[in-house]
């Protein structure tokens, strides 16, 4: 069985993102995550380029790899053309594929993202959809959103959208053939397997923590992962 | 060495923008949060400029938000992108136009991956064929929708009823431009002006009579952070980065913020509301926020479109201060009405952020 290092090296995002880090810290200086937390992309890259199995495992089990915001400002600035944001993508993939994501508090929260953005793609064909967004989950949407969502049929009609309609235009119902194609692409390319993995490890973790978990977003485990 | 004026440095970066016949790829966030904005764009391109642009009912998300949040393999995103290209091919187009900056970054990343790792292109072709039976062609031209507005900025100016000047004083309005990280930070050569001096929106400000606001945090991220915003528990990341920008720009007294990316537009609008309600701090005059518009909304306003037809009533930061400065006539009573003047009530007004 391949080691973690071998699996990481097989990811072309890692190949693309890591040449040789000179530890200058430019990525950390420009990083919005570093500005608001203890995240330090320089240390992540330096850790990865050592290709040590034990250290890599610790990284995959840590909160660290989940703190990047993927703005990719680091790509513009690195004088050696490293891309810490791409390295993070490879680390996150490996962390989920190996189940190590469940060892960190931030990694565990991937369930909440899978059950919102991930599931919305297969339900609506959009990453986000007006019917699912409310100010309980997104209070910063503000009272204007409450008014818009409550009156969405009338307002979206007045604005000329295709909400609820089978025709081109904004917020249209996406045709069944396209929805089926998305599902088939997810099945073919590993997304369905990844979703199942996130659900599986989350169930195991919920049992370990003694928190109720079911298939809905009303369960305590989802709320814990989304809010706490 | 002769130093160039920084506003001229963008000329080092030019990009090809097709002249006509576009396949339009909609944005998840723009459709939901600014639901009329894309139709304003289509009206400008189709009716004002007389160009052919196709709005395909079959298109889907590019999955970019899910990918950057770490829940999707890149192979899935590459194949969904290939599916979009297959739809474009079937519709008979080859110039692909994205309405979303995240999508523009995703499409650009996928094309670069296919170029430098040819096996990924081969694998994607095979995966799409197995999953859907479809084949695809790589677009001849890939641009963001704002690139087209930029290309035709002079034509739009020639048709405009208003300019970016204070209608009372005749002075240029101070306009902040926010480009969005994934427009040019990933691939500087793919953005007009590059990452250092992006000109795609600054060029609109210059052409349409406004004054660019060059403030210290001009290039800083809005703070979306993908999974950092999507999780309620992590959202402090997002508001803290937007706040950093507001604090930095405030001294320059901006009249308006225009944004390239629908996510950025949303955050720069909604985090002003949040900061006002949490801390009592507002960044506009007299308790208002700084109005935030998309590039299509601004174009539509200058062309004389009704602000309530364009959906400006669903911004949380009240837009009336910028309408008044531009000298735009509007019906205040129509703001919150439905079709045929139907009464839909009014939204609750925030406690601290002044709204109308």
Q: Which residues from chain B sit within 8 angstroms of residue A190, using beta carbons? A: 73, 75-76
Taking a C-beta distance cutoff of 8 angstroms, is the pair B35, B314 a contact? yes
- List, by residue range, all CATH 1.20.1050.140 domains of chain B: 19-145
Whether B166 has a pLDDT exceeding 70, the answer reads yes
pLDDT, tens digit, for every residue of B125-135? 999 999 999 99
The pLDDT score that the predictor gives to residue B87 is 98
CA dist., res. B66 & res. B227, Å (int)? 9
Regarding whether A169 and A62 lie in a shared domain, the answer is no
Per DSSP bridges, beta strands B256-259 and B95-98 are unpaired
Regarding whether A65 and A128 lie in a shared domain, the answer is no
The pLDDT score that the predictor gives to residue B129 is 98
ipTM here: 0.97
Regarding whether A167 and A114 lie in a shared domain, the answer is yes
Residue with tokens 């189709």: B46
B226 touches A at CB < 8 Å: yes
Task: Show the domain range for A195.
Answer: 107-227
Whether B12 has a pLDDT exceeding 60, the answer reads no
Regarding whether A189 and A162 lie in a shared domain, the answer is yes
Nearest neighbour of B80 by CB, restricted to A96, A159, A182: A182
CA dist., res. A226 & res. A223, Å (int)? 5
Between CA B73 and CA A66, with CA B77 as vertex, the angle to 5 degrees is 45
The pLDDT score that the predictor gives to residue B5 is 56
Query: Of the candidates A33, A190, A165, which has an alpha carbon nearest to the alpha carbon of residue B71?
Result: A190
Regarding whether A220 and A141 lie in a shared domain, the answer is yes
Instruction: Enter the DSSP assignment of B343.
Output: B
Regarding whether A222 and A111 lie in a shared domain, the answer is yes
Query: Of the candidates B104, B182, B116, B90, which has an alpha carbon nearest to the alpha carbon of residue A69?
Result: B182
Whether B236 has a pLDDT exceeding 80, the answer reads yes
The pLDDT score that the predictor gives to residue B13 is 61
Whether B2 has a pLDDT exceeding 50, the answer reads no
Regarding whether A123 and A97 lie in a shared domain, the answer is no
- Answer with the one of A47, A80, A101 that is the final residue of a domain: A101
- Answer with the one of A101, A130, A162 that is the final residue of a domain: A101
Chain B residue with minimum CA distance to A222: B231
CATH number, domain B160-341, options 3.30.200.20, 1.10.3720.10, 3.40.50.11810, 3.30.1120.80: 3.40.50.11810
Regarding whether A189 and A143 lie in a shared domain, the answer is yes
What share of chain B has pLDDT > 70, as a percent? 96
Mean pLDDT of B100-119: 98
B91 touches A at CB < 8 Å: no
The pLDDT score that the predictor gives to residue B3 is 47
Residues in chain B: 356
The pLDDT score that the predictor gives to residue B316 is 98
Whether B7 has a pLDDT exceeding 80, the answer reads no
Contacts for A148-155 with beta carbons within 8 Å, 24 or more apart? A148/B314, A148/B347, A151/B338, A151/B344, A151/B345, A154/B338, A154/B339, A154/B342, A154/B344, A155/B314, A155/B338, A155/B344
- Answer with the one of A81, A101, A121 that is the final residue of a domain: A101
Regarding whether A171 and A97 lie in a shared domain, the answer is no
**A110 vs A125, B80, B155, CA distance in Å?**
20, 21, 47
Q: How confident is the model at residue B8 (pLDDT cuts 50, 70, 90)?
A: low
Regarding whether A147 and A133 lie in a shared domain, the answer is yes
* Sheet (strand B292-294) strand order: B211-212, B174-178, B256-259, B292-294
Measured in whole angstroms, the distance separating CA A124 from the mean position of its chain's CA atoms is 18
Q: Which residues from chain A sit within 8 angstroms of residue B273, using beta carbons? A: 140, 142
Look up the CATH number of the domain holding residue A38: 1.10.1060.10
Q: How confident is the model at residue B14 (pLDDT cuts 50, 70, 90)?
A: confident
Angle between helices B118-132 and A176-189 (to 10 degrees): 130
Regarding whether A167 and A118 lie in a shared domain, the answer is yes
Average pLDDT of chain B is: 96
A104 touches B at CB < 8 Å: no
- Total domain count for chain A? 2
B334 touches A at CB < 8 Å: no
Measured in whole angstroms, the distance separating CA B298 from the mean position of its chain's CA atoms is 11
Gyration radius of chain A over CA positions: 20
As given in the structure block, the two tokens for residue B83 are 């599916």
Whether B1 has a pLDDT exceeding 50, the answer reads no
Mutation site for A-interface testing, chosen from B26, B60, B219 by largest number of A Cβ within 10 Å = B60
User: A49 — phi, psi (to 5°)?
Assistant: -70, -5
Regarding whether A211 and A123 lie in a shared domain, the answer is yes
| Architecture of domain B19-145 in this structure | Up-down Bundle (1.20)
As given in the structure block, the two tokens for residue A203 are 């169930």
The pLDDT score that the predictor gives to residue B94 is 98
Taking a C-beta distance cutoff of 8 angstroms, is the pair A167, A178 a contact? no
pLDDT, tens digit, for every residue of B17-26? 999 999 999 9
- List, by residue range, all CATH 3.40.50.11810 domains of chain B: 160-341
Q: Which residues from chain B sit within 8 angstroms of residue A89, using beta carbons? A: 70, 74
DSSP β-bridge partners for residue B208: none
Alpha-helical segments (H) within chain A: 4-9, 12-17, 26-30, 32-36, 41-48, 53-60, 73-77, 84-97, 105-108, 110-113, 119-124, 142-150, 152-158, 176-189, 191-209, 220-227
* pLDDT digits (tens), chain A, 228 positions: 899 999 999 999 999 999 999 999 999 999 999 999 999 999 999 999 999 999 999 999 999 999 999 999 999 999 999 999 999 999 999 999 999 999 999 999 999 999 999 999 999 999 999 999 999 999 999 999 999 999 999 999 999 999 999 999 999 999 999 999 999 999 999 999 999 999 999 999 999 999 999 999 999 999 999 998
Whether B158 has a pLDDT exceeding 60, the answer reads yes
CA dist., res. A192 & res. B238, Å (int)? 29
Q: Which residues from chain A sit within 8 angstroms of residue B260, using beta carbons? A: none
The pLDDT score that the predictor gives to residue B300 is 98
Q: Which residues from chain B sit within 8 angstroms of residue A174, using beta carbons? A: 57-60
């Amino acid at each position: 069985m391949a080691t973690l290092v071998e699996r990481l090296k097989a990811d072309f995002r890692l190949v693309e993102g890591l040449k040789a880090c000179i530890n200058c810290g430019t990525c950390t200086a420009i990083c919005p995550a570093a500005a608001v937390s203890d995240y330090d992309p320089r240390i992540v890259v330096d850790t990865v380029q050592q290709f040590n199995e034990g250290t890599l495992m610790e990284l995959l089990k840590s909160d660290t790899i989940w703190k990047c915001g993927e703005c990719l400002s680091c790509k513009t600035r690195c004088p050696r053309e490293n891309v810490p944001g791409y390295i993070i993508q490879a680390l996150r993939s490996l962390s989920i594929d190996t189940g190590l994501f469940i060892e960190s508090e931030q990694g565990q929260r991937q369930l909440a993202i899978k059950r919102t953005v991930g599931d919305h793609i297969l339900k609506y064909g959009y990453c986000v959809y007006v019917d699912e967004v409310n100010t309980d989950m997104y209070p910063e949407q503000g009272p204007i959103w409450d008014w818009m969502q409550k009156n969405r049929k009338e307002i979206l009609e007045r604005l000329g959208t295709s909400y609820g309609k089978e025709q081109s235009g904004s917020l249209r119902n996406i045709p069944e053939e396209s929805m089926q194609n998305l599902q088939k692409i997810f099945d073919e390319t590993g997304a369905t397997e990844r979703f199942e993995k996130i659900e599986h490890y989350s169930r195991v973790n919920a049992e370990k923590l003694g928190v109720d978990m079911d298939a809905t977003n009303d369960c305590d485990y989802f709320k814990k992962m989304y809010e706490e | 060495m002769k130093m160039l004026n920084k506003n001229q440095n963008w000329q080092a970066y030019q990009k090809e923008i097709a002249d006509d016949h576009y396949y339009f790829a909609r944005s998840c966030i723009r459709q939901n949060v600014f639901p009329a904005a894309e139709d304003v764009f289509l009206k400008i391109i189709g009716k004002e400029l007389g160009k052919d642009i196709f709005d395909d009912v079959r298109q889907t998300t590019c999955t970019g938000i899910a990918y950057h949040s770490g829940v999707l393999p890149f192979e899935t995103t590459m194949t969904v992108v290939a599916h979009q290209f297959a739809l474009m091919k079937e519709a008979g187009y080859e110039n692909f136009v994205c309405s979303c900056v995240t999508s523009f970054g995703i499409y650009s990343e996928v094309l670069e991956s296919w170029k430098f790792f040819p096996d990924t292109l081969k694998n994607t072709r095979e995966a799409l064929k197995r999953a859907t039976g479809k084949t695809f062609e790589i677009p001849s031209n890939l641009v963001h929708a704002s690139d087209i507005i930029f290309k035709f900025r002079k034509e739009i100016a020639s048709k405009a009823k208003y300019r970016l000047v204070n209608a009372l004083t005749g002075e240029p309005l101070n306009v902040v431009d926010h480009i969005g990280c994934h427009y040019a930070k990933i691939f500087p050569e793919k953005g007009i002006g590059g990452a250092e001096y992006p000109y795609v929106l600054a060029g609109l400000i210059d052409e349409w009579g406004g004054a660019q606001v060059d403030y210290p945090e001009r290039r800083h991220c809005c703070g979306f952070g993908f999974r950092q915003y999507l999780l309620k528990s992590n959202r402090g990341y997002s508001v803290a980065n937007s706040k950093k920008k507001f604090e930095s720009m405030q001294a320059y007294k901006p009249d308006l913020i225009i944004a390239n990316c629908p996510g950025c537009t949303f955050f720069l609008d909604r985090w002003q509301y949040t900061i006002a309600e949490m801390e009592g701090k507002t960044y506009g005059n007299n308790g208002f926020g700084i109005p935030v518009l998309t590039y299509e909304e601004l174009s539509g306003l200058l062309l004389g479109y009704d602000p309530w037809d364009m959906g400006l009533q669903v911004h949380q930061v009240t837009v009336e201060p910028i309408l008044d400065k531009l000298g735009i006539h509007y019906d205040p009573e129509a703001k919150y009405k439905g079709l045929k003047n139907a009464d839909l009530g009014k939204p609750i007004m925030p406690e601290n952020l002044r709204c109308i």
